[in-house]
Chains A and B, each alone.
Chain A
Amino acid sequence: MLRMSARTDCSRNEAILIRTGAIVLALTTVAFFIMLLGHNPFSVYISMIEGAFGSVYRITETIRKAIPLIIASLGISLAFRLKFWNIGAEGQIIMGAFGATFCALNFQSLPSYILLPVMGIASIICGGIWGAIPAYFRAKFRTNETIFTLMMNYIALKWLTYLQYGPWKDPGALGFPKIPGFTDNAILPSFFGLHIGWIIAVILIIVLHIFVNHTKRGYEINVVGESENTGRYAGMNVKFIIIYTIFLSGGLCGLAGMIEASGVNKTLSVEITRGVGYTAIITSWLSSLRAPVIAVVCILFAAMIQGGTFIQMAFQIPQSAAQILQGMILFFVLGSEFFIRYRISIIKDNKVEAEQ
């Protein structure tokens, strides 16, 4: 008979061991899947790594993909710290990119060093408001933020589709529904072969780490996230804390949208997010909401995406194989939490004696 019992003594090393074991198991499971497709899983995995880190160009590409993921994960981690299940990053990214694009299209005459910060601020405000709306209703009327933020994603996406096919359609694109490209002064400059979004990401990781652990505001977020009642008891303005934290959360996601639009796509389109808003939920959860860990996890996830593109070319395996791998890893890691919290032991079955 299997018996489980709660444990509180799981050390950090043990927990890391269990989680690593989960990832290995996920890789093994997907290996069988790859074998079913008729390929050697080892060579597939190795070329995934090569595809992600094999050359300077590939590393740059991997990091380019990691940047929006990192910034959005940082944003989501703030909301999750508050136990506010913000799954609206997707919409917040879109609205952030929308705000930035609005400035890029309307203030084309501004010099770059003014226009770019203006775009950044606009994206933070737009993404922030998109997050603050559900936060307001949650704080005031206790609405369910999960459904609310999810629905906000669709509104944002449809709004963007409307713009792309309607008022913002590029007249010079011969009827093709696309938004005009950014002028040069609205495009993020490069630094070491990559747009400066990576510097912003590094700064944000450090700032957020300090904010959460060493400031009064960060402390409040931790208290309220643990228990709203305790927050009220300690005299904190819980509603205000919820609203501005989610504003920040949405603002960060919005900034990710601006960086993506200005640094990578150089325009805005309905494909702007590439699912980053949903992947970031996974990465920030896997990093247990800790900013430095988020950086590592996001680069690994970006590597999986980049490596996935590579195996598609090299082996003709659909890129979705990499997504299956992502899903498997999440599944196993979440499942492994059970073994961190409970101990399983086997005891001999004495039932026979009882029936005598």
Chain B
Amino acid sequence: MVNISKSFGEIKANDNITFSVNYGEIYALLGENGAGKSTLVNMLSGVYTPDSGEIYVHDKKLRFSSPGDSISSGIGMIHQHFKLIEVMTAAENIIIGQKRSFIVRRNKLKKTINTISQKYGFKTDPDKYIYDMSVGEKQSVEILKVLYRGADILILDEPTAVLTPQETEKLFKILLKMKEQGCAVIIITHKLHEVMEISDRVTVLRRGEVAGTVNTKETNPKDLTAMMVGKSVDLSINRPAILKDEVMLEIKNLSLVDRDGIKKLNRISFNVKAGEILGIAGVAGSGQKELCESIQGLERRKRGLILFRGEDIARLTPRAIFERGLRISFIPEDRLGMGLVPTMDIVDNVIMKDYYLQKSLFLDREPARTRAEHIVKMLNVHTPGINHPVNQLSGGNIQKVLLGREIDANPDFLVTAYPTRGLDIGSSHLIYDELNRQKMKGVGVIYVGEDLNVLLSLCDRIMVLFEGRVIGTVDASASTKEEIGFMMLGGKEC
């Protein structure tokens, strides 16, 4: 790719980017969120067209106007969110969209798939339905799909974001096999250790520009971070000791059956001490969301006890909990769909939880204005003003507004679900620091996370959920990623 530029509105997503990938090489694109990685590969795969610049494949200048053009020139893209049809089998998904004869010859197809599988070391059953598959298996199908189409340039967008450490390892083995077979592999990631582990060369993007291209062997995580952020950053996360030994929240036998009759939580029991950060790990959809919403009072269909300083709050609505003087702050996973109102400005979002305490019929926005200004200052939110709609802020700043509001309420207890998802390193660390500050104040914290490295270094204990059950709780300072990853899969090797 030579001198590629692309802008959305006034934002330059990519500015004069040039890079090249050789066959038989694993190449990493590294950058913070919003650095322009996804935009760049979307142009390579034909989803977007560049405003200017040229793309050469096999020394031929190409212009892609649709993903079809890109596929036919041998580029295969594996998106972060899988594009598979759940009710079809692996084989059916693989041949979708192919220009082949009208009649599908299943046996021949299966044979081809099995040959490709063997060549690269996949263990995929072509007749298995997608809805029966684990995330790792689904990803294998996605990769098989592009290989079947004859791709020899593979692009993987954040391939490990949804995988457990074990699955990641398997994926890496496959990628190395592909490299041996002479494919060009591009992986997009913001995880440094993966870059170090698997790639041959790495290009770092920063704010839509190339910050540098280096051979992986000649660099180290610290230098890469400095390139990503533009300055050197302290990568360590503090873990202050727990101050007092007082149980703040105790949950006993919490179960939840959802609208469709599916068991989401199954007799969960645990406790959180004042000034403790309890990490919750688990594959996506193991009951994390339901647990958080149960504690906050949103989820009404639950059974069991939720004791907050000895008082059962399991039957109370969020407002009833608030009125008892118990301050449970909640940072939901879905920031714009639940935590905030996207089209409203910061002031109207800040006022959201306590506006109803105002005596008058009319809404007085003055106190909220002061608080909004305070939050903007405290967390260094980049915004043109407090009357700016939140959906026009960047992901990190949106999260800061939400966190700011929840912390500004002086909570006794803080439930956070993926608070740093989609945030860059700088913003993430700001949030870890803020959580630690709350911890020092004696606030009990639940931290639902996906990055095991962060969970291990930030939390005091880590509880692992699997299919709505507690598999186990470990002491974070004495555990390893592998141990937790093993538990995340239900304690069974697969």
Q: Is the CB of B298 within 8 A of A233?
A: yes
Residue of B nearest to A229 (CB): B338
Residues of B within 8 A of A353 (CB): 61, 63
Indicate if the CB atoms of B363 and A216 lie closer than 8 Å.
Answer: yes
B330 close to chain A: CB less than 8 A? yes
Question: In A211-247, which residues have CB < 8 Å from any B CB?
Answer: 214-219, 222-223, 226-227, 229-230, 232-236
- Tell me, in angstroms, the Cα distance from A236 to B319 when the chains sit together: 8
Interface residues of A in 340-356 (CB under 8 A from B): 343, 347, 350-351, 353-354
Q: Are B344 and A235 in contact (CB under 8 A)?
A: no
Q: How far is the CB of B43 from chain A (nearest CB, A)?
A: 13
Q: In the assembly, what is the distance between CA of A234 and CA of B356, in Å?
A: 10
Task: For residue A59, give the distance in angstroms from its CB to the closest CB of chain B.
Answer: 36
Q: Mark B330-342, 1 if CB is under 8 A from A, else 0.
A: 1010100111111
A343 CA to B63 CA, complexed, in Å: 21
> With the chains together, A218 CA to B334 CA distance in Å?
24
Q: Is A6's beta carbon under 8 Å from chain B?
A: yes
In the bound complex, do residue A230 and residue B339 qualify as a contact, i.e. CB atoms below 8 Å apart?
yes
Residues 292-328 of B contacting A (Cβ, < 8 Å): 296, 298, 317-319, 322
Say whether A5 faces chain B, with CB atoms less than 8 Å apart.
yes
Q: How far is the CB of B413 from chain A (nearest CB, A)?
A: 16
Closest chain A residue, CB of each to CB of B343 = A226
Do the beta carbons of B10 and A233 come within 8 Å of each other?
A: no
CB nearest to A225 among chain B residues = B341
Closest A residue to B342 by CB, please name it. A226
Is A8 close to B, CB under 8 A?
yes
What residues of chain A lie closer than 8 Å to B62, measured between beta carbons? Answer: 354
Decide if A12 is an interface residue (CB 8 Å cutoff). Answer: no
The reply to whether A232 and B363 contact each other, CB–CB distance below 8 Å, is no
B341 touches A215 (CB 8 A): no
Q: How far is the CB of A5 from chain B (nearest CB, A)?
A: 7
Interface residues of B in 45-94 (CB under 8 A from A): 49, 61-63, 65, 69
B256 to chain A, nearest CB (A): 16
Q: Find out whether the CB atom of A7 lies under 8 angstroms from the CB atom of B61.
A: no
Contacts of B318 in A (CB 8 A): 232-235
Closest CB-CB distance, A82 to chain B, in whole Å? 13
Q: Is B157's beta carbon under 8 Å from chain A?
A: no
Query: Contacts A216-B355, A219-B348, A223-B352 given: A8-B341 contact, CB under 8 Å?
Result: no
Per-position 1/0 for B350-364, Cβ under 8 A of A: 011101101001110
Structural contact, A234 and B353, CB atoms closer than 8 A: yes
CA–CA, A72 to B136, complex, Å?
55
**CA gap between A216 and B362 in the complex, in Å:** 6
Task: Find out whether the CB atom of B63 lies under 8 angstroms from the CB atom of A230.
Answer: no
A173 within 8 A of B: no
Cα distance, A222 to B355, chains bound together (Å): 13
Q: A3 at interface (Cβ–Cβ under 8 A)?
A: yes
Q: Of residues A1, A223, A347, which shows the largest number of chain B Cβ atoms within 10 Å of its Cβ?
A: A223
Q: How far is the CB of A199 from chain B (nearest CB, A)?
A: 23
* Bound-state Cα–Cα, A7 to B362, Å: 35
Residues of A within 8 A of B351 (CB): 219
A7 → B minimal CB distance (Å):
5
B9 at the interface (CB under 8 A from A): yes
List A contacts of B337 (CB < 8 A): 227, 229-230
Pick the contact of B363 from A3, A7, A214 — CB < 8 Å? A214
A6 cross-chain contacts in B, Cβ below 8 A: 8-9
**Chain A CB within 8 A of B392 CB:** yes
The 0/1 profile, CB within 8 Å of A marked 1, for residues 193-216 of chain B is 000000000000000000000000
Contact A8 B9 (CB under 8 A): yes
**Bound Cα distance from A82 to B338, whole angstroms:** 16
Given A1-B65, A354-B63, also A227-B341 (CB < 8 A): yes
Q: Which residues of B contact A354 (CB under 8 A)?
A: 61-63, 69
Contact A7-B9, Cβ < 8 Å, known A226-B343, A234-B353, A353-B61: yes
Q: How far, in angstroms, from A6 to B11 measured CA to CA in the complex? A: 11
- Residues of A within 8 Å of B358, CB to CB, are 216
Chain A residue with minimal CB distance to B392? A8
Contact A232 B342, CB 8 Å, known A227-B337, A354-B61: no
- Among A214, A223, A230, chain B packs the most CB atoms within 10 A around the CB of A230
Q: How far is the CA of A219 from the CA of B339 in the complex (A)?
A: 16
User: How many angstroms from the CA of A7 to the CA of B11 in the assembled complex?
Assistant: 10
Write out, one digit per residue, whether chain A residues 1-45 have a CB within 8 A of any chain B CB (1) or not (0): 101011111000000000000000000000000000000000000
A214 vs B364: C-alpha distance when bound (angstroms): 8
Cβ distance B39 to chain A, nearest Cβ, rounded Å: 12
Cα–Cα, bound, A230→B352 (Å): 9
Give A81 Cβ to nearest chain B Cβ, in Å.
12
Convert B449-461 into 0s and 1s, putting 1 for each residue whose CB lies closer than 8 angstroms to a CB of A: 0000000000000
Chain B CB within 10 Å, residue with most, of A3, A217, A236, A354: A354
Q: How far is the CA of A239 from the CA of B63 in the complex (A)?
A: 52
Which of A216, A218, A229, A350 has the most B CB atoms < 10 Å from its CB?
A216
Give the interface centre of B10, B62, B298, B341 by most chain A CB atoms within 10 Å: B341
B8 pairs with A216, CB closer than 8 A = no
Q: Which of B18-35 contact A (CB under 8 A)?
A: none
- Which A residues lie within 8 Å of B61 (CB)? 353-354
Known: A6-B8, A219-B348, A232-B298. A351 touches B63 (CB 8 A): yes
What B residues does A9 contact at CB under 8 A? 9-10
Distance of B302 from chain A, by nearest CB (Å): 15
A230 and B10 within 8 A (CB): no
Give the distance to chain A from B61, nearest Cβ to Cβ, in Å. 6
In the complex, the answer to whether B341 meets A230 with C-beta atoms within 8 Å is yes
Binding site for A on B (CB under 8 A): 8-10, 49, 61-63, 65, 69, 296, 298, 317-319, 322, 330, 332, 334, 337-344, 348, 351-353, 355-356, 358, 361-363, 392
Task: Mark A residues whose CB is within 8 Å of B.
Answer: 1, 3, 5-9, 214-219, 222-223, 226-227, 229-230, 232-236, 343, 347, 350-351, 353-354
8 CB < 8 A contacts A-B: A8-B9, A222-B341, A223-B341, A223-B352, A226-B343, A227-B337, A233-B339, A235-B319
Apart from the given pairs A230-B337, A232-B318, 13 other A-B contacts in the complex at a CB distance below 8 Å: A1-B65, A8-B9, A9-B10, A216-B358, A217-B361, A218-B363, A219-B351, A233-B298, A235-B318, A235-B353, A347-B49, A354-B61, A354-B62
